[in-house]
């Protein structure tokens, strides 16, 4: 089953894993050390992130390292950008309204 990227980032543990991977590639065991959950639970989170192409796996000797898939994160940021513009416009309008209201009080 192919998961949606938003399902993947909806979970706080998966978001925390993504933050960890911004610094360096890590093994599942190294990632699991940062959480109070089992290695199997972390592996499930990594599998979901990999299914959504948010992380990639690389075999190095006997170990598998996971790293952040930057291009996929850029796609997500680009999609969110449209909402940032709307929020910024609304906040500017609210600021203007508040300034106007303060001036009328004086």
At CA 36, angle to CA 23 and CA 50, rounded to 5? 50
* Residue 73 scores a pLDDT above 80: yes
- 52 and 85 together in one domain: no
- Distance, in Å, from the CA atom of 24 to the CA atom of 30, rounded to the nearest integer, reads 11
Q: How many domains does the chain have?
A: 2
Mean pLDDT of 54-60: 95
| 54 and 74 share one domain | no
pLDDT number for residue 42: 95
The residue segments making up the domain with residue 76 are 70-106
Question: What mean pLDDT value characterizes the chain?
Answer: 91
Say if CB 42 and CB 17 are below 8 A apart: yes
């Amino acid at each position: 089953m192919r998961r949606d990227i938003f399902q993947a980032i909806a979970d706080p543990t998966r978001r925390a894993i993504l933050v960890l991977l911004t610094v360096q590639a890590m093994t599942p065991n190294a990632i699991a050390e940062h959480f109070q959950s089992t290695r199997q639970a972390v592996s499930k989170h990594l599998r979901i992130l990999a299914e959504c192409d948010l992380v990639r796996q690389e075999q190095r000797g006997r170990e598998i390292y996971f790293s952040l898939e930057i291009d996929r994160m850029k796609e997500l940021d680009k999609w969110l950008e449209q909402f940032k513009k709307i929020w910024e416009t609304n906040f500017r309008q609210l600021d203007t309204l508040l300034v106007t209201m303060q001036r009328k009080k004086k």
